[in-house]
């Protein structure tokens, strides 16, 4: 992969800019963190060279100044809302986040239950958090939010919320996902701090869209593709253009809400520190792109991957036509199509030749390997073994796993674990079998040593894979896409 982003420069520039913003507000800053603090694989894919945990690394450089406040919408607790990327509920993800912060040496000061309305599940969760030793605060629904500013910025509005006690100059407000109430929590705190005579400021950290690159730059288009289901739209910030005569990029929700935010700042503090939504941001990503062409190519591939994901989600019944149609428009803007993904054509050709599901992977040297379905192996398993053989320099005809290894596992799955007689081994089972074979077989051992080299490679399957197999590709760091169809006509798919 060609590096296009200077991660070291980013860490230095970003932490310095945040320090400057803290000073701007007299030593107390509430920083709303949008997007992912951990495992930001989208950023690492579209900005090759960006480390997935860069934002946490940056915060660790400020750890003596940082306090984390995690907010969660009480309604999401009641609905058992699930994170699509992790498959866990928001309330469980909050605990995961707290563990991740503390394991990185960052101080988690408290948890805030936003839009709290005596929901039974939220009350039970609050008791659980307190039993775990966490401070918990309640913020309540406010009638007329966000338009009724006189009521919101009053003792009946923000004034009814619990005041969150914080001890450090930089308070990072984060959440398990969107719609959790991060911005409202920040504004509520500004109200309470002002009532107490404490000078405090607000800023926003959003990695995307990148404000200082072009509107239709592939990096920004890839962000729109990633949020196609949210209907986010990148746009020129009209307030920034009017105030400074400069073109900067923001997105529709921040632009739409800015007049309201500005009025709230004026009501709370007497004046607003910002002239545009772009002013509120502290993101320095755009200053650290070292190879624009590399980032463009990486982003174009991300848009295509998002397209296939949307097609599959539509096939599964999880979304309608809108996300698919939107990404098709983005592909037109970027001047790309699904055919610009080499592994797609290779997989589909192999499937046509064999009449069965197939898979393909683009290797580091540019060659494209394929895997076909057989009596012993599924296409993805065959592809994975073929890729490991090529990376290890093993003859393509050599067997990494003999039928004597695979057959007993299949018989055990069918006779003891209730597997269907037509089912094949999942990728995790293939890798376990390969690791066992590696104890006595030199080729298997060589193949196992290549697993880390699969990270960042592109793969495509002609059918939607099981969740287990998709997870293996993800854990190996392989960028997988699938055709929007199942291997069979069943309605229930694991």
| pTM for the whole structure | 0.90
Cα–Cα distance, 157 to 395 (Å, whole number): 71
Residue with tokens 């308070």, as numbered in its chain: 171
Write out pLDDT tens, residues 231-276: 789 999 999 999 999 999 999 989 998 998 899 999 998 999 999 9
Does residue 494 surpass a pLDDT of 70?
no
Write out pLDDT tens, residues 344-402: 999 999 999 999 999 999 999 999 999 999 888 899 999 999 999 999 999 988 989 88
Q: Are 424 and 381 in contact (CB under 8 A)?
A: yes
Q: Are 53 and 72 in contact (CB under 8 A)?
A: no
Q: Are 463 and 487 in contact (CB under 8 A)?
A: yes
Q: Which domains does the chain have, with CATH numbers?
A: 7-213+248-287 (3.10.630.10), 350-482 (3.40.140.40)
Cα–Cα distance, 93 to 106 (Å, whole number): 17
Write out pLDDT tens, residues 178-201: 889 999 999 999 999 999 999 999
Q: Are 363 and 343 in contact (CB under 8 A)?
A: no
- CA 183 to chain CA mean position, Å: 19
Q: Give, in order, the Cα–Cα distances in Å from 87 to each of 77, 84, 329, 344, 471.
A: 15, 5, 29, 27, 11
Q: What are phi and psi of 235, to 5 degrees?
A: -155, 160
């Amino acid at each position: 992969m060609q590096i296009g982003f200077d991660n070291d420069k980013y860490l230095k520039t970003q932490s310095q800019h945040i320090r400057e913003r803290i000073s701007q507000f007299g030593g107390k800053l509430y920083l709303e963190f949008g997007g992912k603090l951990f495992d930001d694989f989208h950023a690492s894919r579209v900005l090759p060279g960006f480390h997935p945990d860069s934002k946490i690394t940056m915060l660790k450089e400020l750890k003596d100044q940082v306090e984390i406040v995690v907010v969660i919408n009480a309604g999401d607790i009641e609905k058992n809302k699930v994170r699509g990327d992790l498959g866990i509920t928001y309330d469980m993800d909050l605990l995961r986040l707290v563990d991740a912060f503390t394991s990185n040496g960052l101080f988690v000061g408290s948890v805030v239950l936003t839009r709290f309305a005596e929901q039974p599940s939220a009350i039970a969760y609050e008791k659980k958090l307190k039993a775990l030793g966490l401070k918990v605060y309640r913020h309540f629904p406010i009638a007329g939010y966000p338009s009724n500013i006189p009521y919101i910025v009053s003792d009946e509005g923000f004034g009814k919320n619990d005041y969150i006690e914080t001890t450090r100059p930089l308070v990072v407000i984060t959440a398990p996902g969107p719609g959790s109430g991060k911005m409202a929590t920040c504004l509520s705190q500004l109200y309470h701090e002002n009532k107490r005579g404490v000078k405090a400021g607000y800023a926003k950290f959003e990695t995307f869209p990148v404000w200082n690159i072009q509107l239709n730059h592939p990096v920004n288009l890839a962000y729109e593709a990633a949020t196609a289901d949210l209907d986010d739209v990148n746009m020129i910030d009209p307030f920034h253009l009017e105030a400074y005569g400069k073109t900067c990029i923001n997105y529709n929700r921040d632009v739409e809400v800015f007049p309201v935010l500005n009025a709230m700042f004026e009501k709370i503090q007497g004046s607003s520190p910002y002239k545009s939504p772009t002013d509120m941001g502290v993101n320095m990503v755009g200053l650290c792109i070292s190879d624009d062409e590399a980032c463009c190519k990486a982003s174009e591939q991300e848009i295509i991957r998002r397209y296939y994901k949307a097609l599959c989600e539509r096939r599964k019944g999880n979304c309608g036509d809108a996300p698919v149609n939107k990404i098709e428009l983005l592909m037109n803007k970027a001047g790309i199509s699904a055919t610009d993904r080499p592994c797609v054509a290779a997989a589909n050709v192999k499937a046509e030749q064999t009449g069965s599901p197939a898979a393909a992977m683009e290797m580091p040297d540019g060659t494209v390997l394929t895997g076909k379905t057989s009596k012993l192996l599924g296409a993805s398993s065959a592809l994975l073994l073929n890729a490991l053989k090529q990376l290890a320099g093993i003859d393509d005809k050599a067997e990494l796993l003999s039928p004597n290894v695979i057959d007993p596992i299949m018989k055990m799955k069918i006779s003891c674990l209730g597997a269907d007689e037509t089912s094949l081994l999942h990728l995790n089972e293939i890798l376990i079998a390969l690791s066992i074979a590696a104890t006595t077989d030199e080729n298997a051992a060589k193949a196992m040593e290549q697993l880390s080299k699969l990270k960042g490679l592109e793969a495509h399957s002609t059918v939607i894979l099981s969740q287990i197999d998709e997870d293996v590709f993800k854990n190996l760091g392989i960028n997988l896409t699938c055709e929007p169809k199942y291997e069979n006509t069943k309605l229930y798919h694991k």
